[in-house]
Structure 1
Amino acid sequence: MQLVRRHSALFALVAAGLLWGLTVPLSKVALDWLPGGWLTVVRFAAAAPLLALVSRRDLRRAFTPKILFAGAIGYGVVVILQNAGIHATSVSHAALIIGAVPALVALISAATGKGSAGPLAWVGFALALAGVGIVAGGGGGGATLGGDALMLASSVVSATFVVVQSQLLRGQNPIAMTAVQMFAGALAGVPNAIVEGVPAAPASLAPVAALLALILAGTLLPFALFAWGQSRVAPQLAGAFLNLEPLVGAATGALAFGDPFGPVQLLGGLVILSGIALSTAPKRKPVALAVTDRRHEGRTHRTHPVRSAARRDASHLPHTEGPRGGSYVSSSNPPPSH
């Protein structure tokens, strides 16, 4: 059952990463009509009610100050910065810098003690990041240092949000929590939208179509899928799948904006996939060996008296599902966080 849960979570994270790869090119087109603040407000205000309708039974529990604040920062501020960066730089540069998020998630998780990764996983993070550099290394027209700096700021805040989100998701319906946080993200974009003023009518249908696709395929589905998958795995594992975003973004940018995508970018894509495979491989658990005592010619099993007593004392206690789908014996102390 745990293996099925893990595979379902990984599938959801893969789908989220692929769909999120469309956000940079779709946002680039939509920004020709709506400024960054308005795009943030419309994007989340349109998606939140649909998720709220699906998860309406658990909405009240998700309305907490911590969840609302995290949504305002992790959704509103992140996307406002991202929109400003996408508008000021090229699609390829934007995709490249977003690709730094998984490595930042792993670093922040390790620094704050909220997660750990083995040597193989760190090799995977490094490979995936190197692959992102290969994919978007060709650059593209319209890149600026200021736009790249805004994208980097967005990536740092986004990585911090991924780490914090794993704690907030415990005991919550991921879809309901996503709806609440999108609502908070939309509110966070209102002051910026007021400063920008009322946008003019679109010059063509292209930005309108891009906005609709951004709401559905770039917001509604991937945020819900990622929240659901993240609630079942460690934060650094969930963050690894964000490497798919720059891969898809660079490929879409090549088709829609003429950014280079040839053998070098294809090689980078293979490196990204290899890095994800390494970073998502489950850790090997040490094999517990039975303690035996050789006496004379036979082999007699020796039982540890203290451990046996502890097992007898704990046998009557209820077992509760843990944060990763396992179980722990209920006691006055909570199970350790992973």
Structure 2
Amino acid sequence: MKLVRRHSALFALIAAGLLWGLTVPLSKLALEWLPGGWLTVVRFALAAPLLAVVARKDLRRAVTPQILFAGAVGYGIVILLQNAGIHATSVSHAALIVGAVPALVALIAAATGKGSTGPAAWVGFALALTGVGIVAGGGGGGSTLGGDALVFASVTLSATFVVVQPRLLRGQNPMAVTAVQMVAGALIAIPNAALEGIPAAPATLTPVVALVALILAGTLLPFALFAYGQSRVSPELAGAFLNLEPLVGAAAGALAFGDPFGPVQLLGGAVIIAGIALSTAPPRRTVTPVTDRRHAGRTHRVRRAAPRDARQHPHTEGPRSGDYVSSSTPPHSSHS
């Protein structure tokens, strides 16, 4: 049963990573009509009710200050920063910078004591972040350092959210938590949308279609799938599946938007991928010699038989014949 749940969680995370790869190009198209604040509000305000219907029985239990605050930051502020960055940089740059999320997740998890990291993983983190720097510094059509910096700030907050979220999901319906957090994300973006003014009618249907696709395929499904998978695996493992997002996004940017992807971007992408591979590779297990394993796994038990001449030794109060004394801690010991 546990294996089936783990496999379903992994499939959910894979699907979420692939779908999230579409969010950057879809957001780029939708931003041709709606400013960043309005796009955040509309995106979550329309997706949340659909998800709330599915999880309506558990909604009230999911409304807590911690969950609302995490949604306001992890959904609202993260997407506001991401939209502002996407508007000011290229799709390929934004997508590749998102590739730093897995490394940042593991770094934050290790720093907060929620994960353990080996030497190879630390090298991977450094490589991934170096690759982000190469991509950001390489320039390209429609990209700016300011836009890249906004996307990176969004990525940092998103990684923190990935580490914190499993504790909030404990004992909760992941769909209900996601719906509540989407509402919080929409609410926190309203002041920013108000400052942008009422958007004009779209000039073409393209941004409208992109918005609908962003709500369904880029928001409703991936956020719900990721929350489901994240509630069943460690933050580091869940974060590793976000590797799929930059690959899909960068390919979409190059194919659909004609973003330049020259040697510098290729080098930066290769360094990011190499860093991700190192940081997410399972650590090598140290094989214990057979003799040591046998010795370590052996429970030392000593059989004490009551002396036949117990009456001759009145001060000896050993266990009765057939009793066993184990060197291991008794089951009801007060030691934790």
Gaps of 5+ in 1: 294-299, 315-330, 334-338
Check 1:4–1:202 CA distance in 2 against 1; reply closer, same or farther (3 A cut): same
For 2:56 and 2:74, the matched residues in 1 are separated by 22
Segment of structure 1 superposing worse, 197-206 or 97-106: 97-106
For 1:282 and 1:261, the matched residues in 2 are separated by 33
> 1:309 deviation in Å?
4.9
> 1:301 deviation in Å?
6.4
Letter in 1 for 2:273: I
What is the CA RMSD across the aligned residues, in angstroms? 3.2
Are 2:93 and 2:135, in contact at CA under 8 Å, matched by a contact in 1? no
Are 2:237 and 2:280, in contact at CA under 8 Å, matched by a contact in 1? yes
CA-to-partner distance for each residue in 1:49-83, whole Å, 9 max, x for gaps?
Answer: 11111111111111000000110010000000110
> 1:253 deviation in Å?
0.5
Partner of 2:280: 279
Query: Which residues of 2 match residues 10-159 of structure 1 at below 5 A?
Result: 10-122=10-122, 125=125, 140-159=140-159
Are 2:105 and 2:159, in contact at CA under 8 Å, matched by a contact in 1? yes
Letter in 1 for 2:280: S
CA-to-partner distance for each residue in 1:272-318, whole Å, 9 max, x for gaps?
Answer: 3894587164775987934389xxxxxx962395654523x38xxxx
> 1:2 deviation in Å?
3.0
Q: Does 1:291 align with 2:295?
A: yes
Q: Which of 302, 305, 310 pairs up with 2:330?
A: 310
Partner of 1:325: none
For 2:299 and 2:81, the matched residues in 1 are separated by 63
For 1:203 and 1:332, the matched residues in 2 are separated by 71
CA-to-partner distance for each residue in 1:96-130, whole Å, 9 max, x for gaps?
Answer: 22211211111111111121233454455566667
> 1:237 deviation in Å?
1.6
For 1:28 and 1:73, the matched residues in 2 are separated by 21
Segment of structure 1 superposing worse, 225-234 or 283-292: 283-292
Check 1:286–1:9 CA distance in 2 against 1; reply closer, same or farther (3 A cut): farther
> 1:257 deviation in Å?
0.7
Quick one: percent identity of the two aligned structures?
73
Partner of 2:186: 186
For 1:114 and 1:139, the matched residues in 2 are separated by 36
Q: Does 1:234 align with 2:254?
A: no
Segment of structure 1 superposing worse, 125-134 or 236-245: 125-134
For 1:152 and 1:279, the matched residues in 2 are separated by 20
Check 1:213–1:277 CA distance in 2 against 1; reply closer, same or farther (3 A cut): farther
TM-score (norm 1): 0.80
Are 1:72 and 1:184, in contact at CA under 8 Å, matched by a contact in 2? yes
Name the SS of the counterpart of 1:80 in structure 2.
helix
Letter in 2 for 1:157: L
> 1:265 deviation in Å?
4.6
Are 1:72 and 1:185, in contact at CA under 8 Å, matched by a contact in 2? yes
> 1:209 deviation in Å?
0.5
Larger Rg: 2
Are 1:129 and 1:272, in contact at CA under 8 Å, matched by a contact in 2? no
Name the SS of the counterpart of 2:301 in structure 1.
coil
Name the SS of the counterpart of 2:5 in structure 1.
helix
For 1:282 and 1:219, the matched residues in 2 are separated by 33
Partner of 1:195: 195
Check 1:66–1:267 CA distance in 2 against 1; reply closer, same or farther (3 A cut): closer
Partner of 1:177: 177
Name the SS of the counterpart of 2:330 in structure 1.
helix
Gaps of 5+ in 2: 303-324
Are 1:133 and 1:268, in contact at CA under 8 Å, matched by a contact in 2? no
